[in-house]
Structure 1
Amino acid sequence: MDEVEVVVAHSERATLRVGDVFLKVDADQARIDVEVEAMALAPVPTPEVLWRKPPVLAIAGVPGTALGRLGKPSTASPAAWAAVGAAVRKLHEAPLPPWVGRRRRGPDDLMTELEGECALLVTNGILPADLVIRNRQVADAALRQWTPAFTHGDLQIDHVFVDGDEVTGIIDWSEAGRGDALSDLATLTIGHPEHLDDVIAGYGTDVDLDVIRAWWSLRSLLGVRWLVEHGFDPFAPGCEVDVLKSRM
């Protein structure tokens, strides 16, 4: 009998694996609704939905292996990274989904949230002030008007699966919606700047690299405190705090 593996678990949701089946438990039904609809609309490989019985969504595993892990070197080839870039471009060029997205905030809202988060990081002694101030300055470049695209919203490196140089699946679509395309590219390459050129080569269009780097700082600043409070370690080698330090 297959063992139950806890893939991730915190106060908002949990994902369990039993053999080749993943069970996502989420008390927020709207989040599950978004995930199912986004996978149906996205023009890229996604997991098969096996069944739904709130608050549980069962999906099939996808073939291949994760593109990598944050904090660890990726063993995927440059061609695989380029193939991911091409897939992401296809997603971004797809018709916009009918919903805005759970966390889609404009530049003004992001600025307000960022200012508050930076203050808490310093006041609570989580990060030194000079590190926060420098990255806050870098993040400014991301706070501009953008043309909405169909975005994944949480395109972490371990949410993308490849087999050789082929993309076999992109998972975890609960944050999908209309958003900033460069945020997706930044999330994909955060902690792996050595593969940014490969991704952009596959993406196949001119992008503002300064904005992507700004999103690295922005995403890290907004994520550190949440990660700490939910039992994750943003201070691990190669993770969010190291990303922030690399901007100094």
Structure 2
Amino acid sequence: MDEVEVVVAHRQRVTLRVGDVFLKVDGDPAHAEVEVRAMALAPVPTPVVLWREPPVLAIGAVPGEALGVLGEPSRASGGAWAAVGDVVRRLHEAPLPPWVGVGVDEVAARLDRECAWLVDNGVLPAGVIRRNREIAEGALRRWDPVFIHGDLQITHVFVDGDEVTGIIDWSEAAPGDAMFDLAILTLGHEERLDDLLAGYGPGADRDVIRAWWSLRALVASRWLIGHGFDPDAPGCEFDVLRARMRDA
């Protein structure tokens, strides 16, 4: 029998790997529902759904290796990043999924709450929070919604050479801002933005992508800390926020 590997474990979700099968156990069955529906609609490589028995979703492994990990340089080639950009463009040009996404007003309210929490708890210097809050305002504008992955972290994209072999973890998929996907993918890997956009093509707004870098790092930090992750690890969210101070 294959060994059981714990891939991710926190209070909301546990993902286990047994051989070529991933078992995702989620306390909210709506997440698996969105994931299954999104993968069926997305015109890009996705894992195969093997079976679903709430609260467990079983999916097959995708070939290749992750595009990279947060906090370490990506070993993938520029061609691989460009190929990812092309695949993301195909997703963004697909028909919208038939459920509601998060709007700008909800994003703005969450930014207010999380910045207040960061200040009240002394998690980061007030100047770092204030500067990144100013930058993050650039993402708070009305956007034309597209089909977004919604959590397009670098670890969720798999490549084999310069070919995209699969995109995983679709539970946040929804109509949303295209620049959000591009920002999450390059968070902490800003040097790869040119390669990504070479494949993505025209229409990307670099200023909005940079704004989403700050916004994402600000609003994600409390959740990460509360679920056993370290946003202050090298190359992670706090370094992203500090880097914006050097840009000032």
Normalised TM-score (structure 2) = 0.98
The one-letter amino acid of 2:48's match is E
Deviation at 1:167, TM superposition (A): 0.1
Shift, 1:6, TM fit: 0.6
What are the equivalent positions in structure 2 for 1:51-200 lying under 5 Å apart? 51-101=51-101, 104=102, 106-200=103-197
Shift of 1:137: 0.3
Deviation per CA, 1:183-209, whole angstroms, max 9, x where unpaired? Answer: 000000000011000111100113110
What secondary structure is seen at the aligned counterpart in 1 of 2:108? helix
> 1:127-171 deviations in whole A, cap 9, x for unaligned?
110110000000010000000000000000000000000000000
How far the C-alpha of 1:233 sits from its partner, in A, is 0.6
Counterpart-to-counterpart distance in 2, 1:108 and 1:29: 26
Alignment of 1:21-32 (within 5 A): 21-32=21-32
Which residue of 2 is the match for residue 41 of structure 1? 41
- Name the CA distance, whole Å, in 2 between partners of 1:167 and 1:110: 30
Deviations 1:58-98 (A, max 9, x none): 00000000000000010000000000000000000000000
Task: Identify unmatched segments of 5+ residues in structure 1.
Answer: none
Task: Report the equivalent of 1:222.
Answer: 219
Q: Which residue of 2 aligns with 1:203?
A: 200
Check conservation: 1:126, 1:225, Cα contact below 8 A. no
Percent sequence identity over matched residues? 71
CA distance in 2, matches of 1:4, 1:54: 20
Q: Is the 8 Å Cα contact of residues 25 and 57 (structure 1) preserved in structure 2?
A: yes
Q: Is the 1:68–1:75 contact (alpha carbons within 8 Å) kept by the matching residues of 2? A: yes
Equivalent position SS for 1:247: helix
Matched-pair contact (CA < 8 Å) for 1:227–1:233 = yes
Q: Which residue of 1 aligns with 2:230?
A: 233
CA deviation profile, 1:8-48 (whole Å, cap 9, x unmatched): 01111110001110000012111100000000000000000
Moved over 4 A (4+): none
- The Cα shift of 1:109 comes to 2.1
Distance in 2 (CA, whole Å) between partners of 1:148 and 1:18 is 37
- Residue identity in the other structure for 1:38: A
What SS does the corresponding residue of 1:71 show, helix, strand or coil?
Answer: coil
Unaligned runs of at least 5 residues, structure 2: none
Counterpart of 1:146, as a letter, is W
